[in-house]
Amino acid sequence: MSLPSREQLVSVAEQSEAQRGGRRSILSRQSRDHADLDALMTAYDAEPDAAARGRVVAELAERALRHAFAEETVLFPAYRRHLPEDADLTAHIQGDHQRINELLEALQTADPHAPGYDAQVREAFAVIRHDAHDEEDELLPRLQRVASPAQLRAIGNAWEVQRRTSPTRPHPKIPRTPPGNVLTGIPLAVSDRVKDGVDHALPRGSRVRTVALAAGAGLVVAGVRAARRR
């Protein structure tokens, strides 16, 4: 069976919520989250203060990474089960996710006041927008042709549960496909939340902060080892 081309498909952006399979369908959930990511990119453009721009990028990074991790562990495996002849499309999108992880990792430690910061941010935004278009214009409409509305809602619910518990920081070195990402994702999600808590609670350079981060690192190593033994 030949796959429909992009031009033969109706983009998620041009469908009503009912056509997408309802509010909980993966098409509707993806559309809403892509819109939230787009709103953050617009907020960055409108923000004149460099430090505030850095905070917008941090918020966008966390949201984009959780969104993408849940795709890699829930949506793309479901897509490959429904359309095993189209693994090339998810491989292409995973390549973009890898690039997003690398760019956001570099931005984590970049200074928003530095001359090259804005260009780095623009490159990350371009890949995030391209990724959303590939999914809304091609991957999701193709899935919609072979999955029932009930199946689209089941995938949407599973994706949302995974998104809420996903790692919050960039991890370009972990695999982008199961089972590697699933096994490493759980301890990394715990470790990321330890670091998020430390970032909010303790000043940079303090001894307590160093100890807290070391404890978080120990936790993730133990978690990865335990996951590999199962």
User: Which parts of this chain interact with Fe ion (CB under 5 A)?
Assistant: 30, 68, 71, 131, 135
What letter does residue 115 receive in the DSSP assignment? T
The nearest distance, CB 30 to Fe ion, in angstroms, is 5
The nearest distance, CB 190 to Fe ion, in angstroms, is 23
For 173, residues 6+ apart whose C-beta sits below 8 A from its C-beta are none
What distance in Å separates the CA atoms of residue 101 and residue 174, rounded to the nearest whole number? 10
Matching residue, tokens 């200074």: 111
Pinpoint the alpha helices (H) of 47-116. Answer: 50-70, 76-82, 87-108
Query: Between 62 and 135, whose beta carbon lies closer to Fe ion?
Result: 135
Query: Between 132 and 198, whose beta carbon lies closer to Fe ion?
Result: 132
Query: Between 31 and 216, whose beta carbon lies closer to Fe ion?
Result: 31
The nearest distance, CB 106 to Fe ion, in angstroms, is 19
The nearest distance, CB 110 to Fe ion, in angstroms, is 22
Query: Between 71 and 137, whose beta carbon lies closer to Fe ion?
Result: 71
What distance in Å separates the CA atoms of residue 163 and residue 34, rounded to the nearest whole number? 13
Query: Between 30 and 191, whose beta carbon lies closer to Fe ion?
Result: 30
Query: Between 68 and 189, whose beta carbon lies closer to Fe ion?
Result: 68
Q: Contact at 8 Å (CB) between 74 and 159?
A: yes
Taking CA atoms, 214 is separated from 148, 170, 211, in Å, by: 47, 18, 5
The nearest distance, CB 92 to Fe ion, in angstroms, is 11
Q: Contact at 8 Å (CB) between 82 and 145?
A: no
Q: Contact at 8 Å (CB) between 167 and 192?
A: yes
Q: Give which of 163, 161, 142, 154 is closest to 22, Cα–Cα.
A: 154
